[in-house]
């Protein structure tokens, strides 16, 4: 790990001079620049704290990873990749922002935007299920985020309601890029994309494609949202995120994800056989959209052949009256 993993993002090395007002933050952050508050998230390799920048009083979420643990569990590449991808995904709506990274002897620190309203999952669970208006709005924001990610040649690979956060205004922020991966776009998908996806060298070093010694898919993601292609060793593409997107729409409307089982093995069997049902009363238009997303052949999913924008999904009857281009300016519908 060491310095190769964590380099400070602010490279202005001028030390604060005596003439500077006391409020000017130092250029190189350390843990001492933040007051650490409560734990707001726990992953397998990290703990996320609510913190306050002592210079600006601004709140941040800081993800802290124990170096010895990451080295022991051989997760160095994942941590490095998450950092590279988050920096590469520049400040954009609907994706968590990485402001700085730094390290001390024992730990790595990721300073991220703080999503005041936490994860989407408890919001769904609290009310049981979302009404159609809420589902349209929140899934609409997720779709716009996926358009951005996929145009930047990034696949998230672990999209789920726990990784969708809500900011103070109840707009979504996708987080946890620990399983994300850069992909090489096929030539015909390499269309006019306003310079997006132009680069980020060194992020394609991977476990499951492009290498001559093609390795089997390593399981990434969460069992309930994992796509059939990942389970059957077919190439993982942006369309794998569309599968998870279909599972999330189903969960918003019905309260539970479509594929459920006591054991992971049985759940994987259900996924690869497309064994799921719609509860009675499930909105017809939402059902049609979910059926077009939960398609075993990843190339046949709605949107899989779209370019730049998921036009075919945007124009699905479920989204009839949703203005995708102004979602960030809209007041989210209340959840009840």
112 part of the interface to ligand ADE, by CB under 6 A: yes
d(CA 314, CA 324): 8
- Contact in structure between 114 and 22 (CB atoms under 8 Å): no
Q: Yes or no: say if 249 and 160 are a contact pair by the CB < 8 Å rule.
A: no
Using CB under 6 A as the binding rule, whether residue 48 contacts ligand ADE is answered as yes
**Measured from the CB atom, is 167 or 206 closer to ligand ADE?**
167
Q: Taking a C-beta distance cutoff of 8 angstroms, is the pair 316, 291 a contact? A: no
Determine the Cα–Cα distance for residues 242 and 61; give it in Å rounded to an integer.
28
Residue 143: enclosing H or E segment and its boundaries?
A: helix 132-151
42: which strand partners?
47
For residue 145, state whether it binds ligand ADE (rule: CB under 6 A).
no
Residue 63 assigned as binding residue: yes
Residue closer to ligand ADE (CB basis): 225 or 310: 225
* Residue 158 annotated to the active site: yes
**51: β partners:** 36, 60
Q: Is the separation of the CB atoms in 136 and 319 below 8 Å?
A: yes
Element (H, E) at 264: helix 264-272
Q: Which stretch binds ligand ADE (CB under 6 A): 23-31, 101-109, 110-118, 324-332?
A: 110-118
**5, 79, 96, 226: which one contacts ligand ADE (CB under 6 A)?**
96
Window 223-242: contact mask with ligand ADE (x via CB under 6 A): --------------------
Q: Which of 53, 84, 131, 158 is catalytic?
A: 158
Q: How far apart are CA 36 and CA 48, in angstroms?
A: 10
Among 5, 79, 111, 115, binds ligand ADE (CB under 6 A): 115
* Region binding ligand ADE by CB under 6 A among candidate stretches 64-72, 101-109, 111-119, 276-284: 111-119
70 binds ligand ADE (CB under 6 A): no
Rounded CA-CA distance 40/119 in Å is: 10
Q: How far is the CB of 96 from ligand ADE (least distance, A)?
A: 5
As separate numbers, helices (DSSP H) first and strands (DSSP E) second, the chain gives 10, 9
Residues in the chain: 336
CB of 300 to ligand ADE, least distance (A): 34
**Of residues 48 and 134, the one with the C-beta less far from ligand ADE:** 48
Residue with tokens 């696949």: 155
Q: Which residues are paired to 103 by β-bridges?
A: 108
| Closest chain position to ligand ADE (CB) | 41
* Total residues in contact with ligand ADE, by rule CB under 6 A: 12
25 versus 118: smaller Cβ distance to ligand ADE: 118
Of the candidate spans 81-89, 114-122, 286-294, 316-324, the one that interacts with ligand ADE by CB under 6 A turns out to be 114-122
Cα separation, 244 vs 146, whole angstroms: 11
245 touching ligand ADE, by CB under 6 A:
no
Closest-CA residue to 219 (of 283, 140, 292, 157) = 157
Separation between Cα atoms, residue 211 and residue 159, nearest integer Å: 25
- The CB-of-66 to ligand ADE minimum distance in angstroms stands at 17
Position among 135, 153, 175, 179 found at the interface with ligand ADE (CB under 6 A): 175
Among 165, 170, 247, 302, binds ligand ADE (CB under 6 A): 165
Is 25 a binding residue for ligand ADE by CB under 6 A? The answer is no
> Is-contact 156 243, C-beta < 8 A?
no
Would you list which residues are annotated within the binding site? 63
The residues that are catalytic are 158
Residues lying near ligand ADE in the complex (CB under 6 A): 40-41, 48, 61, 96, 112-115, 118, 165, 175
Would you list which residues are annotated within the binding site for ATP? 63
């Amino acid at each position: 790990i060491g310095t190769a993993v964590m380099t400070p993002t602010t490279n202005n090395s001028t030390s604060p001079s005596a003439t500077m007002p006391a409020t000017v933050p130092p250029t190189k952050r350390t843990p001492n620049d933040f007051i650490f508050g409560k734990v707001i998230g726990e992953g397998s390799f990290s703990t996320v704290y609510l913190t306050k920048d002592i210079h600006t009083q601004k709140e941040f979420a800081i993800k802290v990873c124990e170096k010895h643990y990451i080295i022991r569990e051989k997760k160095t590449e994942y941590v490095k990749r998450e950092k590279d991808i988050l920096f590469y995904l520049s400040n954009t709506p609907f994706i968590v922002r990485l402001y700085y990274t730094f390290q001390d002897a024992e730990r790595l620190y990721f300073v991220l935007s703080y999503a005041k309203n936490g994860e989407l999952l408890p919001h769904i669970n609290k009310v049981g299920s979302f009404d159609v208006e809420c589902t349209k709005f929140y899934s609409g924001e997720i779709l716009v985020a996926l358009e951005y990610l996929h145009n930047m040649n990034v696949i998230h690979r672990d999209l789920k309601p726990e990784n969708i956060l809500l900011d103070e205004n109840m707009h979504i922020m996708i987080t946890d890029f620990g399983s994300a991966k850069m992909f090489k776009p096929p030539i015909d998908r390499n269309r006019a994309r306003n310079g997006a996806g132009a680069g980020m060298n060194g992020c394609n070093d991977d476990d499951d494609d492009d290498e001559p010694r093609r390795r089997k898919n390593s399981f990434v993601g969460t069992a309930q949202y994992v796509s059939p292609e990942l389970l059957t060793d077919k190439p993982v593409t942006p369309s794998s995120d569309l599968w998870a997107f279909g599972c999330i729409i189903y969960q918003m409307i019905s309260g539970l994800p479509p594929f459920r089982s006591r054991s992971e093995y049985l759940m994987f069997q259900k996924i690869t056989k497309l064994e799921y049902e719609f509860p009675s009363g499930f909105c017809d238009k939402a059902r049609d959209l979910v059926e077009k997303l939960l398609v075993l052949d990843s190339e046949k999913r709605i949107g899989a052949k779209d370019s730049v924008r998921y036009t075919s999904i945007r124009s699905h009857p479920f989204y009839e009256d949703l203005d995708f281009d102004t979602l960030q300016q809209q007041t989210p519908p209340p959840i009840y």
